[in-house]
Structure 1
Amino acid sequence: MPWWPVHPDHIGSLLGGLMLELQPPTRHDWTVQDKVYGKLSMEPFEAGFALTVGIAYRRALLSAIHGAAPTWVKIENVLHEFSHLPGVMEDTLDIMMNLRKVVFTLHVNRPKILRLRAQGGSVVKASDFETDADIEVLTPDVVLATLDKDGVLEMEVCVERGRGYVSAEKREPEALPINAILLDADFSPVKRVNFHVEPVTEGRERLVLEVWTDGSVSPATAVGEASRILEDHFDLLMDFPEISPQEEAAERDDVRPRTELNENLFRNVDELELSVRASNCLKTANIRTIADLVQKSEAELLKTKNFGKKSLNEIKTILGEMSLSLGMRLDPEELERLRSQYERAYEA
């Protein structure tokens, strides 16, 4: 059989055809980009991959981007959401709904309390909040309430960072002020995401992604954060080092945190300065020591008869003062080791 020499310029194309490597997209372009809307195109994708990537981006953008939202409000002379303030046209529920329309940018990673006081025949707007460098009101024209000449509105609002949608029923702040009302919090700055796939050439596709935000985060920033979130999820599966079962067990032992000696674990719950109701509930649940108590979750305690959130907050406060918390996982062997260590220290 005759042998035909191959020209060097053709070697690359031949190898590329043999390896059949998947070609990732190499170009992107923001065809529209402003503060609240962006349109991004990425290409070329191999057939089917544009749809896969579009679905992943849409999911991450709608559920995982961090933002700021009001989480509770305290209105002077209002005891609950069904109260009505004299001289104020709106009901308390209307004011709460109006608060949720306000868009905030929080520049710190801690909750921020905003205060507002208005009186006498005026329209109260979001711009009336007293702000500083830590927080910005992006929708100052949102109307919160309308006052007549004798009306007075004084309130405090807590703005926090978070992600997704968290209903008031699922929130349980540690130190909620008296008469404060929890709000449903929509933290997501991304309001809408669309995408579609267009053919480019034979076997190649273009992904067109549209993103709408509330202005607290730009579409480009939101897409960048979504990319990092997706990358973090796939990083775990980038490499599978081969380790022996013995090495894996040793690694788990090294990572597992050891419980520090806390002598309070071995005290009887009767020694705690609890209310009569909370103390009786713990006896009903057969919880004798603080070690028994800290291994219970909040949900487990709330299932105990006559045990409510007031008793729960009371117990959480007392445990916090001891550097303990509910939901701790105490290994029985580790607990016995601590007990022996405590008894030896006590005898010494």
Structure 2
Amino acid sequence: MRSIALLGKIGMSDHTIILPSKPKVVSEDKLRGVYEIDSLYPGYGHTLGNSLRRIILSSLPGTALTVVKIDGVKHEFSTLDGLKEDIITLILNLKKVRFKSTVDEPQEATLRVKELRKITAADIKTSGQVEVLNKDQYIAEITDKKITLDVTMQLEQGLGYIPKRMLQQDKVEVGTIVLDAVFTPIRRVNYEVENMRVGDRTDYNKLRIFIETDGTLSPREALERSIEIMIKQLKAVVGFQEEEKEEEVLPEEEGVEEVKGGVDKDFLRTRIDTLGFSTRTANALASSNIRTVGGLIRKSPDDLYSIDGLGEKGMQEIRRTLGNFGVTLK
């Protein structure tokens, strides 16, 4: 009887997974931060750490230089008489300049210098919605007083890294240089996991996260936003997907019949996220609950222009994509 009672005690275990602590600051300054999360269930340190690291690197928006036009220059493999640097070096230095934009729409910045001197990011002129953060960043040096360096730049907001072949969907005029865009405001992020004691167990995890940003947001903001993104994504997949209501694409709905023309009814049920729209356009449509082609073509251009984050560039993308399938907006 005694052995049975003893076995009963040993066999009884707590099946409750305790919740971890809130993040605490180990060290922090303007660009770098180290944070710890304690009391993670065994194995959860790597699960949470790797997920947060990937989100921090890929899913935090930032502002990047996407297009450059330099007066007197036809392509990036050129040189400019009177300028110490070649054009490729000039562009690489411009890409090191960190911009912070308060709006989603593309913004223009200019650089115009005609003096014999070194040029820094402080010489860049921007609108009131854009701020240059590292104004001491070296750009180039003019060595001949006869020349004027005149540069026009386009700045856009985005996520992660986008190669120029994806940004340059249409032909551009000679002299317009489209660039690979690094939008992420994160310079480096890493994590480590070590065991810690919780009660009688010594295999619980302590997660330590190291974050370095470019100054457009603080390390703490980067961690907080990544946690919010993770929670939002997980909430979206709770439960199972229900079938979309047929009425979303019924041809008898007002305005669909005349717009549809000879379009296949099945195509009207096609989901927007399968058409290859850019992330910006797809997110703007999803935020307005436009999820199928049928729902999209019921909207007038005025309706679409009123959607936050969907400007003229997005409208051109929608028209072009629908046109490939022989469909037009109202």
TM-score, length of structure 2 as denominator length: 0.71
Deviations 1:76-100 (CA, angstroms, capped at 9, x unpaired) = 1111112221111111111111111
Deviations 1:81-140 (CA, angstroms, capped at 9, x unpaired) = 122211111111111111111111011111110011101211111110112320011111
Distance 1:79 1:185, change over 3 A: same
Partner of 2:305: none
Distance 1:87 1:54, change over 3 A: same
Question: Secondary structure of 2:320's match?
Answer: coil
Partner of 2:5: none
Question: Secondary structure of 1:326's match?
Answer: helix
Partner of 1:159: 155
Q: Work out whether residues 108 and 127 of structure 2, in 8 Å CA contact, stay in contact via their aligned partners in 1.
A: no
Confirm whether residue 37 of structure 1 aligns to residue 27 of structure 2: no
Confirm whether residue 142 of structure 1 aligns to residue 137 of structure 2: yes
Partner of 1:103: 98
- After the TM superposition, which residues 121-136 of structure 1 pair with which residues of structure 2 at under 5 Å, given as runs? 121-136=116-131
Match of 1:118 among 86, 109, 113: 113
Partner of 1:197: 193
In 2: Cα distance, 1:262 partner to 1:176 partner: 35
In 2: Cα distance, 1:154 partner to 1:265 partner: 50
Question: Secondary structure of 2:140's match?
Answer: strand
In 2: Cα distance, 1:187 partner to 1:132 partner: 19
Work out the number of aligned pairs and report it: 262
Give aligned-pair identity as a percent. Answer: 28
Confirm whether residue 80 of structure 1 aligns to residue 69 of structure 2: no
In 2: Cα distance, 1:160 partner to 1:240 partner: 36
Question: Secondary structure of 2:319's match?
Answer: coil
Q: Work out whether residues 109 and 127 of structure 2, in 8 Å CA contact, stay in contact via their aligned partners in 1.
A: no
In 2: Cα distance, 1:257 partner to 1:163 partner: 36
Deviations 1:311-338 (CA, angstroms, capped at 9, x unpaired) = xxxxxx9xx78x833246869xxx8xx9
Distance 1:324 1:59, change over 3 A: closer
Partner of 2:167: 171
In 2: Cα distance, 1:256 partner to 1:162 partner: 31
**TM superposition shift of 1:237:** 2.8
Q: Work out whether residues 105 and 137 of structure 1, in 8 Å CA contact, stay in contact via their aligned partners in 2.
A: yes
Distance 1:264 1:195, change over 3 A: closer
Confirm whether residue 236 of structure 1 aligns to residue 229 of structure 2: no
Match of 1:20 among 3, 15, 18: 15
Partner of 1:224: 224
Partner of 1:292: none
Q: Work out whether residues 37 and 206 of structure 2, in 8 Å CA contact, stay in contact via their aligned partners in 1.
A: yes
In 2: Cα distance, 1:61 partner to 1:195 partner: 12
Partner of 1:341: none
Deviations 1:269-305 (CA, angstroms, capped at 9, x unpaired) = xxxxxxxxxxxxxxxxxxxxxxxxxxxx89xxxxxxx
In 2: Cα distance, 1:18 partner to 1:257 partner: 56
Partner of 2:247: 254
Larger radius of gyration: 1
Deviations 1:123-164 (CA, angstroms, capped at 9, x unpaired) = 111110112320011111111111022231001011110111
CA-atom RMSD in angstroms: 3.2
Distance 1:169 1:330, change over 3 A: closer
Q: Work out whether residues 117 and 153 of structure 1, in 8 Å CA contact, stay in contact via their aligned partners in 2.
A: yes
Partner of 2:182: 186
Distance 1:63 1:263, change over 3 A: closer
Distance 1:35 1:74, change over 3 A: same
Partner of 2:86: 91
In 1: Cα distance, 2:109 partner to 2:94 partner: 12
Deviations 1:185-241 (CA, angstroms, capped at 9, x unpaired) = 110111111111122201322100010111111111111221122112211332348
Distance 1:196 1:130, change over 3 A: same
The amino acid that maps onto 1:211 is I
TM-score, length of structure 1 as denominator length: 0.67
- After the TM superposition, which residues 59-78 of structure 1 pair with which residues of structure 2 at under 5 Å, given as runs? 59-78=54-73
In 1: Cα distance, 2:190 partner to 2:128 partner: 34
The amino acid that maps onto 1:179 is G
Q: Work out whether residues 26 and 43 of structure 1, in 8 Å CA contact, stay in contact via their aligned partners in 2.
A: yes
**TM superposition shift of 1:167:** 1.4
Distance 1:261 1:130, change over 3 A: farther
Partner of 1:48: 43
Deviations 1:46-80 (CA, angstroms, capped at 9, x unpaired) = 11111110010111111111101100100011111
